[in-house]
Amino acid sequence: MGSTFTSQAWWKDAVVYQVYPASFKDSNGDGIGDIPGLIAKADYLSALGINVVWLSPMYKSPQVDMGYDIADYEDIHAPFGKLADMDVLIEALHSRGIKLILDLVINHTSDQHAWFQESRASRDSPKRDWYIWRPARYDAQGQRQPPNNWRANFGGSVWEWDEPTQEYYLHYFAKEQPDLNWENPTTRQAIYDSAVRFWLRRGIDGFRVDTVNKYSKPLEFPDAPVTDPASPWQFAYPLFCNGPRIHEFLREMVREALDPFGGPGHVMTVGELPSTPDPVDIKRYVSARAHELNMVLSFDMVYLGMGTVRKYLPQPFNLCDVKAALARWQHMAAESDGDMWTTVFAENHDSARSISRFASDAPEHREASARLLALMLTSLTGTLFIYQGQEIGMVNLPRAWPVDEYRDLETHNFYAAMQAEAAKAGSPAEADKIMTAAMDGINVLARDHARSPMQWDASPNAGFTSAPADGSVQPWMRVNDNYREINVAAQMDKAGSPLEFWRRLLSFRRQHRHLFVYGEFVEHDHDNPFVFTYTKLIDHASGIEAGEDAGPHPAAKALVSLNFTDQPQAVCFPVDCSADKCELAISSTSVDKVTDIAVLQPYEGRIYWVR
């Protein structure tokens, strides 16, 4: 790693806390979280130790896809508040040393956006070419068919027939989310002005860029290979991701809409980059020399166990798969010779809870698992992202909940597809088996596990809303049944709680940032299915020395050992990190409870200084 890699861009040191506005804090008792509720919790966020808030879409929206269907980039969804509330939020965060980034959703809009309403008004509309319209094709029987066989992200075709104008429009997601036509330069400039410059002028600090690799479409729209013979619609991500002009478009947006606000790299950009497995392709997005994005969110770990054709039917994976997913991005950044940066995360609004997926949410192991994952994430190289509730160890929703308790469009589309499959089953028993598997999968992987209301205390509705306790107003989504055991108030200043441990770890990470934020990652004992072991090293070639850390220990190397089982496990001490050279720095249990330096307790993680 060279000096470019360790240059102190502000977003490299950042600890980003993602807020899902509908579920964070309701200030007015209507059962829906809002921006004033977030403002009221600014001190809580500051005390946690984060320095960036990523606010999920709060724009005016019909909420078909929870705000990712935007009807107006320059206005606020009414239940969330007003535009003036955003100005107050920006000031409240900035006054506490916290920056704010927003979701930049510019692959598509809502079908209620004025641009699309004009586009679909007629084939002669001046904005017709702002979206992607194509004529029908016809099969051998003369039946009208969509232009190709691509499957939409939420199921069905990516094409929706528009009867008045007798053409199909493209939508990679829900039919209410038509894709913008980035080939049109007038459209691009309107996007930059309405979605980007408008908010930078108001004082925000950057963007999480939604579906950043989908703007450029292969204009021939070829059919996808048939991977699901039972369906007319086929998985097509390799075709509609990373299109022919995507890097041209991104460079233009960065130079014309971002760089004028403080210069190159001043505005933070983190891209959502699905279905991009080739490191060469990834580097094109995040190369400092290419000057497109600061970093991207890799889903290698989050996607473990997900199916392709049937996303919510879990596939087996083990700790070695988790190691490989994380190590890939740690190595990729280090091997770029300072030309790219990476991110670290285990949860977001599109994924289930990490404790339930990667450790144990059993009551006897839940808190230990929360601390274990916290220690792992805070000791890895890159910009750290935390999702709301992760800091108190929130877990998946109960298996007993019926599908009606879920709100996500994707979950209900999956459930409907499984119902259709069950209807074709040869027997009632086989149909029941299919639907049981569907609910088992939803219980493991559904996005709503991360979207249930934040658990603030043990009062009704977990203190999320001030709605009357008589139940006359319900939260927009049911609160997890375990809120009396898992909540902020119960953990505040409680030694050993996940919240207290996260606070301590974030302070520790800041003190030793050159080692943990910037240090070189070296994995050991990869094939061990129970323990994850790696070292972190300061690269002296970068000009950074161990003594520059604010912490009391001058070590230039640390050993991290993580037990992902419910049984004691031996610590793997690499050849150059023998036990006699290691001094215990931090344990996810308690340093004073460690009786054997060479044995990890169930779901325990440790960091050792290496002399």
Q: Known catalytic residues? A: 210, 272
Distance between CA 395 and CA 361 in Å, rounded?
A: 6
Distance between CA 371 and CA 498 in Å, rounded?
A: 6
Distance between CA 301 and CA 541 in Å, rounded?
A: 31
- DSSP β-ladder status, 72-76 and 59-60: antiparallel
Q: How far is CA 360 from CA 139, 314, 394, 448, 465, in A?
A: 51, 16, 12, 19, 29
State the chain's maximal CA–CA distance in angstroms. 79
The amino acid occupying position 381 is T
Backbone angles phi, psi at 170, to 5 degrees: -90, 140
Containing 560, the helix (H) or strand (E) segment is: strand 557-563
CA end-to-end span of the chain, whole Å?
22
Q: How far is CA 175 from CA 72, 155, 312, in A?
A: 18, 10, 21
- The counts of H helices and E strands in the chain are 18, 22
Query: 90: which 2 tokens?
Result: 């920006």
Q: How far is CA 53 from CA 73, 101, 376, 573, in A?
A: 19, 6, 21, 38
302-333 in b/e burial notation, b at 16+ Cβ within 10 A?
bbbbbeeebbbbbeebebeebbebbbbbbbbb
Backbone angles phi, psi at 133, to 5 degrees: -115, 140
Nearest CA to 606 out of 486, 577, 511 is that of 577
Nearest CA to 385 out of 374, 396, 395, 394 is that of 374
Query: 594: which 2 tokens?
Result: 């460690």
Distance between CA 3 and CA 301 in Å, rounded?
A: 28
Distance between CA 276 and CA 299 in Å, rounded?
A: 10
Containing 367, the helix (H) or strand (E) segment is: helix 366-378
3-state secondary structure of 131: strand
Distance between CA 480 and CA 256 in Å, rounded?
A: 45
H helices present in 62-208, as ranges: 83-94, 114-119, 185-191, 198-202
Distance between CA 292 and CA 265 in Å, rounded?
A: 9
Query: 286: which 2 tokens?
Result: 């995040």
Taking the CA atoms of residue 223, residue 224, residue 228 and residue 230 in that order, the dihedral angle to the nearest 10 degrees is -10
3-state secondary structure of 206: strand
Query: 48: which 2 tokens?
Result: 């946690």
3-state secondary structure of 384: strand
- The answer to whether 346 touches 338, Cβ cutoff 8 Å, is no
3-state secondary structure of 321: helix
